[in-house]
Structure 1
Amino acid sequence: MTVNLDWENLGFDYMELPYRYDAHWKDGAWDEGGLVQGGSLTLNISSPALHYGQSAFEGLKAYRTKSGAIQLFRPDQNAARLNRSASQLLMPAVPTDQFLAAVKQVVAANAEYVPPYGTGATLYLRPLLIGVGENIGVAPAKEYLFTVFAMPVGAYYKGGMVPTKFMVAETYDRAAHFGTGQSKVGGNYAASLQAGKYAHEHGFGDAIYLDPIEHRYIEEVGSANFFAITKDGRKFVTPKSPSILQSITRRSLMDLATSVCGLAAEETRIPIDGLNDLAEAGACGTAAVITPIQSITYRDHVHQFGDGGVGPITQKLYDTLVGIQNGDVEGPAGWVVTVEA
């Protein structure tokens, strides 16, 4: 059974569901954790998450298949990435088995909110790891909270798989090389708010960041990774940099570009003045899936990709990835995990 919602017109907005999962770390160990009700946390006012940004999170989705089953897409990769982020911020790792159990429990407990197959909506899950407790000095917390909550969502960018215009955030940096840019931590997103606001106010889907040293090479879109197809149709390219998030969607697309499209997949530096060498481009991530990039505005120049529509390789990658996530296409071993609800 599912609740009665307008599934096909959901935005990407918070909705409080009946259950979430909480676990606490203290004295060197995690407790068993379990489901709790409500959407509010009570924290000590001196918690390091509030003052010093000791906060990391993940994003993944649960999908309803045509048969009515519920499945997750590569949740083990989210567990691994959360722990890489935790290590960067001196937080304790969440055991992979506990992470996966927490996600499955939240999905099963809120199964009536997993959108029906074919609506384009999904159940978005947000695992969150934060430093809590009494700690006013600049130092790691002595206690930690791991929580997982969920909500049904529609497309992150309005219209879904619709070509979108982006602009280069020339006067903003998202993250420094060798800082926390490669981790999914709160401070990176706070740093993207100004450029994102400016982009939206000027009619763009989001801002594209250049590298923080030379301001010459493409790094990330504000809320997603960047990829492109070279004009010769032979390569799937995506930025190589120490300050960008290692997207699970991007890594999956690199694998599919090779196995399904017969392309070479390469992480490389992509100069902003080399856009003429690219035939297609897109933004990719768990929330966005794939958003085709119609054009990039850099200084006074607007570079349009092709005829401004969805490129054929981008479309094939999208159809294959979403097909795997929705249970219509068989994916590589281990990519799909079923949830018993």
Structure 2
Amino acid sequence: MSNPTTPPTDKLDWQNIGFQYRDINGYAKYTWTPENGWDEGSLETNPYLNVHMCSTGLNYGQECFEGLKAFRTKDGRIRVFRPHENGKRMNLTAAFGSMPGIPEEIFLEAIKKTVQANLEYVPPYGSGGSLYLRPLLFGSGPMIGLSPAPEFTFIVFGVPVGNYYKDGVKPVDACIIEDFDRSAPLGTGSFKLGGNYAPVFLPTEKAKKQGFPITLHLDSKTHTYVDEFSTSNFVALSNKDGVTTLVTPNGRTILRSVTRISLVEIARDLGWTVEERDVPFSEIEEGKFDEIAACGTAAVITPVKRISRGEKSYNIGSGEQTEIGAGFEALYKQYKAIQNGDIADTKGWMWPAEGF
């Protein structure tokens, strides 16, 4: 095992590295064929892949990915947050997309290889940064017919990223996308297929130019229920008669966000009520929620202070908040404390327990 005390490199300005790709030491790569299954894998350094022009990944979008993070914790260990959950989700997506499943031992081994090869690129404790890990599975063999590829490639690469909220967690405005449906009722919305993401580039870029950093989708059948934000899951809090309730959609079209399921567990630990159910947009119109947020790997929680739909705008709380609300702040602090090793990991979410 590599030295777990390997310090962060001094070649990066850890307070200003942002969220962008940069080459580091290497990445894990595995190849699958029907005859041999998955090979033993290798550590590669060339970021350019030799892929056939007729591969199903390029021609038909036979591809899926995951996103998770490694942290340098308070006691000096380097550990990854809930990789087993990402492995489970990738296999669900792979099965739906006619791709070979990745055994848990290979998924974890690939993460281990990549992290150990890049220990100096795990940001310092206290910087708010992490080593973002991207598992990627795609059809790399040639197939011109509408059939699965004869070869698949699985890689895990890493990118050091900074604190998403360098200047503190700030609530933002959101808008409803009305002219594009993220997912059909029996479609691919609950799977992390690459093809689900490219179509939202255009509407989200348009929304950003109009002053909306994030965008929200409604169900495609009736446009009356909350689906997801373009980049992450929807969560909301209400406080009534001293009871805090976390509400979140969890239907057939919703991606099973590891961040969301973790926040749900923390909310239950705090003694809150949790409702995983259909969420009519009318509940937002009627002001039933005290706090609303998007939740995902990159930012954990992005509070929303106002949601616009066409010419109408709906305030969440006062609609003028400049700081995260008390409810989501409690969840956020607990979540980050586990990742950073500031409190005991009683749930066994940080892997491996002993660190790299």
Q: Which bracket does the TM-score occupy, shorter chain normalised?
A: over 0.9
| Distance (Å, rounded) in 1 between the aligned partners of 2:168 and 2:256 | 22
1: distance between equivalents of 2:123 and 2:109? 21
Counterpart of 1:329 in structure 2 is 343
Alignment of 1:278 with 2:289, yes or no, is yes
Q: Secondary structure of 1:76's match?
A: helix
Match of 2:190 among 178, 182, 186: 182
Q: Which runs of 5+ in 2 are unaligned?
A: 1-6
Q: State the TM-score, normalized to the length of structure 1.
A: 0.96
Distance 1:159 1:165, change over 3 A: farther
Counterpart contact for 2:16–2:162, Cα < 8 Å: yes
Show the counterpart of 2:128.
120
Is 2:252 the partner of 1:242? yes
Q: Distance in 2 between matches of 1:215 and 1:304?
A: 20
Show the counterpart of 1:26.
33
Conserved 8 A contact 2:290-2:317 = yes
Select 2:220's aligned residue among 196, 212, 218: 212
Moved more, 139-148 or 306-315: 306-315
Contact 2:54/2:144 (8 A) holds in 1: yes
Residue equivalent to 2:9: 3
Kindly provide the CA deviation profile for residues 227-262 of structure 1, in whole angstroms up to 9, marking residues without a partner as x: 0002424310101321121001100101111112x1
Which position in structure 2 is the counterpart of 1:230?
Answer: 238
Question: Counterpart of 1:268?
Answer: 277
Query: Which of 150, 153, 159 lines up with 2:161 in the alignment?
Result: 153
SS of match in other structure, 1:9: coil
The alpha-carbon deviation at position 305 of structure 1 amounts to 1.8
Per the alignment, in what secondary structure is the counterpart of residue 197 of structure 2?
A: helix
Specify the alignment match of 1:253 in structure 2. Answer: 263
Residue 306 of structure 2 is matched in structure 1 by 295
Whole-Å separation in 2 of the counterparts to 1:67 and 1:243: 40
| Unpaired stretches in structure 1, ≥5 consecutive residues | none
Structure 2 vs 1, CA of residues 119 and 247 (structure 1 numbering), >3 Å: closer, same or farther? same
Contact 2:139 2:151 in 1 (8 A): yes
Change (3 A) 1:303 1:158: farther
Q: Deviations over 1:249-293 (max 9, x none)?
A: 100101111112x11111111122211110101111111211111
CA distance in structure 2 between the partners assigned to 1:251 and 1:37 by the alignment = 34
User: Aligned-pair RMSD on alpha carbons?
Assistant: 1.5
Quote the Cα distance in structure 1 between the aligned partners of 2:297 and 2:168.
Answer: 13
Task: From the superposition, tell whether residues 332 and 301 of structure 1 become closer, same or farther in structure 2 (CA, over 3 Å).
Answer: farther
What TM-score do you get using the length of structure 2 for normalisation? 0.92
Shift of 1:224: 0.7
Contact residue 53 and residue 186 of structure 1 kept, 8 A: yes
Counting only pairs closer than 5 Å after superposition, residues 42-61 of structure 1 correspond to structure 2 as 42-61=50-69
Q: Is residue 127–residue 163 contact of structure 2 (8 Å, CA) maintained in 1?
A: no
Alpha-carbon distance in structure 2 between the residues aligned to 1:330 and 1:217: 38
User: In the comparison of the two structures, how many residue pairs are matched?
Assistant: 340
> Once the 2 structures are TM-superposed, how far is the Cα of residue 175 of structure 1 from its aligned partner?
1.4
Deviation at 1:326? 0.6
Which residue does the alignment assign to 2:3?
A: none
